Structure 1
Amino acid sequence: MAERKRKRAAEEWERRKRGRRRRMRRREGEGLGKRQVGWAGDPVEALGEEVMGRVMELLDARSVARCTAVSRAWRGVAADDRLWAPKINFILLFVVIFFLIIFIWVFCKEYAAQNINHVYYANMPLVTEEDILKGTHVYSFLKLMMGHGLCAELMAGKAHIPRLTSIRTGSKLSTYSMAIMDGKRSRITKEDLCDHAWEYRFTIAAPEYWRNLDPSWKHTGPPMRRYFHPDGYHSADPHDAVWGGHECAYTVITSFVGDGQIRDHYVRINRWPPLKVSRKDDWSWELSNHLYRYNSIPDADKKGCTGPLFPVW
């Protein structure tokens, strides 16, 4: 009887022991399953923000931007300034280089189409407009821009050469650019008036008496000439029939409005009608009113060039 009770107690103990082991294995299995599910659902919680930041550093900017839309945790990692700083610098550099290349390409094509027929530079082959438009000699064109070729071709056929092109410290490219801007300038200065000799003619609206004194109107001689002096004096040739030797002074009048815009600009001689200022395609000047007009005489070969030394726009 006692032996039977001891055997039954040992079996009960063994059964409870096996039950405890089964429950422990079940708990371990459930815990392992939870960890696996959690890792697969959110890597930020499993790996940490620092590790995920290192991973996102290897991605491109577009992929990192997409990561910000996953969750708040992902957005906190993907929106970090330390992660975006190198990517933004690279993007900006790429954009700047891209637009710089486009600008140079378009500038070369447009300028070649407008100003170049044939150009030869040093030992380079002949560069034509068609070659540059096709893009086969863009490098040659860029090199030409920095040389004497374009500057010489730009000045060919011009009535006046700006004095600011004689600045030796400037590059050929800056000289070329300033010459273009000066050629479009319609604001005349005292230097422009004094550096040129001027042809003087009457218009058809002038009285017949004055037109009969104008040799160019009757085709009996060259046009009359006028001269402007730095001290404000205005003169003519000694044999001029219209001049008469009277006192004469000139003034350049310029009025401005807001933002530096010119409202009115003209030249007045004594109290006579003002002279409107205009510029021609060959960079020569014209001063005119309803009675007479002044035209600057071409002097491109004048030593030291003409006009102001510093840009006047």
Structure 2
Amino acid sequence: MAMHVVSWLSPRDLSTASAVSQQWNILCNDHSVWDNACEDLWRDKLYVPPKIRELRITSPKDAYILSISDSKRNLCTDDELCHDAWEFHFKETMGPLSFTHNRPNMYLKFEKQGVVNMTPAERGNIGRPVTAIWRWVELPHNAADLPSIGKFLQVNRYPLCTITRRKDWGFKMQNDWVEFYYPPLKKTIKTEGTTTAPAVQ
């Protein structure tokens, strides 16, 4: 009966109830309870780091707590940046190039060598390869013209991109001209004649 009651408690209530007694502490820290909590929390999330997903196997409570903390991280690693294709579109400020002018979203792949390539499908649509250079830029504390200090991504000599997290825990990079999304907002990406789901890890 007690285990059934525990299964209905929120993570916050579990932390409170665990202080009632040693028995309740054991029940509230049960592996299955926190495994279910991870399942509920992550159900509508597009991105949870692989290491945190792996941690769920051995310590779901720690995985739950770390995933919430990680969701507030407004900076992606090189591995995350280069893991798979990013969806992007031009903003309305770009006029005819913008997404609002019936131009479909496109996909770019950041490579660890500092190169940005279009996916094979995008190269086929445009008819020629398009390559750019990316780099991290760390701004000094007196950079008052941007909303925050720290690392920003720059492609070629275009304006710096700020990085934030979406409600689905995916990444969003943007400047005044473009927006990038990872994992892609689209459910599928077409690559070389096949359709595959975007990597969600």
Query: Judging changes above 3 Å, is the alpha-carbon distance between structure 1 residues 233 and 240 closer, same or farther for their aligned structure 2 residues?
Result: farther
Paired residue total: 169
Distance 1:282 1:161 in 2: 9
Q: Return the alpha-carbon distance in structure 2 between the equivalents of residues 226 and 175 of structure 1.
A: 30
Distance in 1, Cα, partners of 2:79 & 2:37: 26
- TM-score in terms of structure 2 length: 0.68
**Quick check: which one's helix share is greater?**
1
Aligned to 2:124, what secondary structure does the other structure show?
Answer: coil
Aligned to 2:173: 287
1:224–1:240 CA contact under 8 A, matched in 2: no
CA–CA separation in structure 2 for the residues paired with 1:283 and 1:136: 29
Query: For the residues of structure 2 that align with 1:146 and 1:301, how far apart are their CA atoms?
Result: 29
SS of alignment partner, residue 153 of structure 2: strand
Larger Rg: 1
In the alignment, which residue of structure 1 is the partner of 2:92?
A: 204
Q: Determine helix, strand or coil for the equivalent of 1:239.
A: helix
Question: Which structure dedicates a bigger proportion of its chain to strand?
Answer: 2
d(CA) in 2 for partners of 1:136 and 1:266? 43
**1: CA distance between counterparts of 2:176 and 2:198?**
32
The 5 A counterparts of 1:206-285 are: 206-208=94-96, 210-211=97-98, 216-219=99-102, 222-236=104-118, 237-241=122-126, 244-255=128-139, 263-285=149-171
Tell me how far 1:256 sits from its aligned partner: 6.6
SS of corresponding position for 2:86:
strand
Q: Is contact 2:31-2:60 (8 Å) kept?
A: no
What RMSD in Å do the two structures reach over aligned CA positions? 3.5
Gaps of 5+ in 2: 142-147, 188-196
**How far apart in 2 are the matches of 1:170 and 1:136?**
22
Structure 1: any 5+ residue segments left out of the alignment? Answer: 1-120, 306-313
Name 1:93's counterpart in structure 2: none
What whole-Å deviation, never above 9, does each CA across 1:100-129 have from its counterpart, x for those lacking one? xxxxxxxxxxxxxxxxxxxxx9x6355256
Tell me the distance in 2 between the aligned counterparts of 1:253 and 1:280.
22
* Greater RCO, 1 or 2 (C-alpha within 8 Å, sep 6+): 2
Alignment correspondent of 1:112: none
Aligned runs of 1:1-313 on 2, under 5 Å?
Answer: 124-125=4-5, 127=8, 132=13, 139=24, 140-143=27-30, 147-165=34-52, 166-167=54-55, 171-208=59-96, 210-211=97-98, 216-219=99-102, 222-236=104-118, 237-241=122-126, 244-255=128-139, 263-296=149-182, 297=184, 302=199, 305=201
- TM-score by length of structure 1 reads 0.46
Please say if residues 286 and 294 of structure 1, whose CA atoms lie closer than 8 Å, have aligned partners that are also in contact.
Answer: yes
Q: Name the SS of the counterpart of 2:61 in structure 1.
A: helix
